[in-house]
Chains A and B, each alone.
Chain A
Amino acid sequence: EAGVTQFPSHSVIEKGQTVTLRCDPISGHDNLYWYRRVMGKEIKFLLHFVKESKQDESGMPNNRFLAERTGGTYSTLKVQPAELEDSGVYFCASSQGQHVGQPQHFGDGTRLSIL
């Protein structure tokens, strides 16, 4: 069974440009999460999809970030326009049901550098 895959693994762009990150969850997982780790800080929650619906987007930093999950399969996270403080590692995770303690499985992340 393939794990959570993220693309690209690295992205370097200039301030003001647009970047789109992609996440393919484990097949059959309805829940998809985005997290972010900025340098020296803990991994922080961004948002949670159940199928194609946004269940919780309380962690999205501002309206420069747009997450989509059309069709309830893969998800994209677009940053437009990118700012210096958006640099960090963006992780995607997926899980099956919503039972208490259902484990989330993480991808390797996308390392985003804004110059």
Chain B
Amino acid sequence: QKEVEQNSGPLSVPEGAIASLNCTYSDRGSQSFFWYRQYSGKSPELIMSIYSNGDKEDGRFTAQLNKASQYVSLLIRDSQPSDSATYLCAVKLNFGNEKLTFGTGTRLTIIP
């Protein structure tokens, strides 16, 4: 079992719709969760972080965390063509262990 699992996609969503990206993780000790967006040939760019159960909203983005189910998701509302990218889920264990464990990423395409 992979430590962090994501559906590799591609996921196609019409412009203006909600894109839903999902991620599960295996280590119950995980404390911090991150969503990065990566355009082809560019650096992973942090778009959301979440540490507590529940929802966290930032503009069109909402991250959802359920530690009991070991599940974290990212919702993108009013999807735009510029949202087309690969979305990486990353998990950090706890203080003192700073390494990020990544999923393979989900490729998202927004269809105009």
Contact = CB atoms under 8 A, between A and B. Distances in A.
B99 A108 contact: no
A31 interface: yes
A109 interface: yes
Interface residues of A, number: 31
B25 interface: no
Contacts of A101: 31-32, 49, 51, 92
Overall SS of chain A's interface: loop
Contacts of B62: none
Contact of A33 (B2, B32, B99): B99
Contacts, number: 67
Nearest to B31: A100
Interface in A3-62: 3-4, 31, 33, 35, 40-45, 48, 55-56, 58-59
Nearest to B41: A108
A46 B32 CA distance: 19
A24 to B, nearest CB: 13
A81 interface: no
A68 B36 CA distance: 27
A78 interface: no
Interface string B97-108: 111111111000
B95 A99 contact: yes
A42 B104 contact: yes
B42 A108 contact: yes
